Amino acid sequence: MVGATIAKTGLLKFESTTNQNIAGVYLKSLEVLEPIYLFHAAQQLYPEFVKLGEGKFRMANFSFVREQKILLPPLATQQAIVAEIEAEQALVAANRELITRFEAKIQATLARVCGEAPPATQAVAALEVGESEISLA
């Protein structure tokens, strides 16, 4: 692994090829190691790779990669960690969607208040502000 892509990780769920200088990890047994746990654990090794070359050209040879250590809790713990990460990733994705929706609602409301027509491509519920109530249109 060399240069700007050093210690960048990827999780392949299919057979593939590459044209870059990489080191791959192939699991001998799924009975002791969860592949997605390994993926996330390997991402935590990035600082070790950055230390190579002290800011200059960096190259991690196979020996260096093999010397790296990853904590290996019991398989059930690995699976629980993966489940928690995936649940949190789902929450992050849902929050991003919520932000997008509310940004569209804000834009539509501002356009309506300013007397502009909201974009035709956005079907958004706009706030109707009356003297005594607020309702969704």
Q: Print pLDDT tens along the chain (137 aa).
A: 455 556 667 777 766 666 666 667 777 888 889 989 988 988 888 888 777 766 665 677 778 878 888 889 999 999 999 999 999 999 999 999 999 999 999 999 998 888 876 555 444 454 444 444 444 44
Say whether both 20 and 52 belong to one domain.
yes
Q: Mark whether 8 and 60 lie in a shared domain.
A: yes
Residues 81 and 66 in one domain: no
Handedness of CA 10, 89, 71, 77 (dihedral sign): negative
Q: What is the DSSP string of 28-84?
A: S-TTT--HHHHHHHHHTTHHHHHTGGGGS--B--HHHHHH-------HHHHHHHHHH
pTM for this entry: 0.62
Whether residue 88 sits in one domain with residue 39: no
Domain boundary, last residue among 40, 72, 104: 72
